[in-house]
Every structure is written in structure tokens, then in C-alpha cells.
């Protein structure tokens, strides 16, 4: 069996944070132990207004900076949008695409997410492609069907593990304090790994990092991050506090 990918713990700050919030980032960066630096990658995705300042503050540390969304085009008459090239220019190395909040509130389709993943590649960014089911889809027994369809529609077929991360976030678990069982997480992550083999081929299948997201916190991090095919976490609210974010990441040193 192939060696597991290097873990990634990513923080999605969503629409939170002002300039003084750079102190939280500095707290995260200064709290990374030598052991944690050796065992996992850490990423913080602040609002676009803070990407440049956070990238400057994180320079030389173990923490990478990413964006939360990008437009599919590199430039143009798209008022209020931000291109992947702009994020890269500001110092980002990653970008989240297809988060459930974008799919829900901005009505983004799998095709939209696919185009944004290609844009990330074009700009030299790693795309974190998000997938996940709603409560209604889970109750209808459609979890695997929904996640498979999202993957097939959202992940570019010629992606490599160096430019792609997949994040599984059950929509009903985001910000609710609810989490699926360990067995449920294992089932979906195994499905994602198998689907990646069909989409990308066996050479990339086992090297793409698959993150779990949805009410991840220090109290459940060890249990969740030890599930097979879970290669890290996409953390929401808990990433806004340095102690909580580091508490989750420290699961890789326990």
C-alpha cells in the first residue's frame, strides 16, 4: 500500500477577521512545535482583504496562506470578484473552491467548481475542492451518490496530487456541533479515494489529500484524524482561535 499523504490542517475563516486578527495568525505560527512542523502542514484561509497581510506575517513560518474562493477567469469585468491570479499575487498558495456555502448561497454548480479548480491550477494554486451532502440527502440514503456526482463534476480529470486537495464536509455538520460517526466518515472517505482512482488514475489516487470538515474541534480531532483515508481537516470556527486550531493540529503529535 502507498504511504499516506502528508496531513494538512486548514482553517477556513469565512467572513471573519479584521486587520488586528493578524495576531491570531502570529499566535498559530509561534505555537507550531518542531514535532508538528515535521508531521503536518498548516494552512489558514482568511478573507481576501487579509490574504496579503497574513502572507507577510506567515513568511518563514510553518503556516501557509490560502483564499476562500476565486473567479474562473483571470481578469475581466466581474465587479467584486477576485481571480486566482490575484490571490497568488497577494501571497496565497491554496484556494478553497466549491464550499457548501458557495454552492448554497451563490448557487454554484459542479461545473462552476470545476472551472475554478482549473483557474487555481492556472495561477499556481492548490485547489481544495469541497464536496458533501445535505441532511435531506443523508436521510434519503443518497450520501455516496451525491458525493460521487460532485467529485466527477468538480475535479478536473488531469489533476495531480500536487495541485489538488479534496475536502468532505457534510453540510448538516458545518457549524452545528454535530458530526457523523467515525464509521460514516470512513465510508465516505473510502468512496472518495475510490472515485479519485476512477477520475485521476491509480498513480494519483493515494497521494491526493482528503480532509474531513464539519464541527472539528480539539475534543474530537484525534478520533477523526485517525480514520482511514482522512488526511487532515478543514476547520471552520475553531480556526479563529490559535489555541483551538493548534489543539486540533496537535492530534498529529499525540
Assign residue 19 a region: left if phi > 0, alpha if psi is -120 to 50, beta otherwise? alpha
| Residue 169 among the catalytic residues | yes
Query: Bridge-partner residues for 168, per DSSP?
Result: 131, 212
CA distances from 57 to 47, 117, 206 (A): 15, 26, 33
Catalytic residue among 71, 85, 99, 108: 99
Q: Which ranges in the chain belong to alpha helices (H)?
A: 22-30, 34-39, 51-58, 84-90, 100-105, 110-122, 135-139, 143-154, 182-200, 202-205, 218-225, 242-249
Decide: residue 123, CB within 10 A, 0-12 exposed, 13-18 middle, 19+ buried: buried
Catalytic residue among 71, 169, 189, 195: 169
| Residue 99 among the catalytic residues | yes
Just list the catalytic residues. Answer: 99, 169
Amino acid at each position: 500500500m502507498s504511504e499516506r499523504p502528508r496531513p494538512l490542517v486548514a482553517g477556513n475563516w469565512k467572513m471573519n477577521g479584521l486587520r488586528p486578527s493578524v495576531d491570531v495568525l502570529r499566535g498559530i505560527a509561534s505555537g507550531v512545535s518542531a514535532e508538528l512542523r515535521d508531521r503536518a502542514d498548516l494552512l489558514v484561509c482568511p478573507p481576501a482583504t487579509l490574504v496579503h497581510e497574513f502572507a507577510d506575517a506567515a513568511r518563514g513560518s510553518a503556516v501557509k496562506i490560502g483564499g476562500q474562493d476565486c473567479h474562473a477567469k483571470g481578469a475581466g469585468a466581474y465587479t467584486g470578484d477576485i481571480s486566482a491570479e490575484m490571490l497568488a499575487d497577494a501571497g496565497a498558495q491554496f484556494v478553497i473552491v466549491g464550499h457548501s456555502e458557495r454552492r448554497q448561497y451563490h448557487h454554484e454548480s459542479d461545473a462552476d467548481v470545476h472551472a475554478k479548480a482549473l483557474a487555481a491550477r492556472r495561477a499556481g494554486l492548490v485547489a481544495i475542492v469541497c464536496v458533501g451532502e445535505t441532511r435531506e440527502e443523508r436521510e434519503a440514503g443518497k450520501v455516496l451518490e451525491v458525493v460521487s456526482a460532485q467529485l466527477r463534476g468538480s475535479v478536473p480529470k488531469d489533476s495531480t496530487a500536487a495541485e489538488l486537495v479534496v475536502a468532505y464536509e457534510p453540510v448538516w455538520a458545518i457549524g452545528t456541533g454535530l458530526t457523523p460517526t467515525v464509521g460514516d466518515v470512513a465510508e465516505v472517505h473510502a468512496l472518495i479515494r475510490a472515485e479519485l482512482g476512477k477520475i485521476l488514475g491509480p498513480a494519483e489516487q493515494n497521494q491526493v489529500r482528503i480532509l474531513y470538515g464539519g464541527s472539528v474541534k480539539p475534543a474530537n480531532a484525534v478520533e477523526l484524524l485517525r480514520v482511514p483515508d482522512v488526511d487532515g481537516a478543514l476547520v471552520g470556527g475553531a480556526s479563529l482561535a490559535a489555541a483551538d486550531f493548534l489543539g486540533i493540529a496537535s492530534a498529529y503529535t499525540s
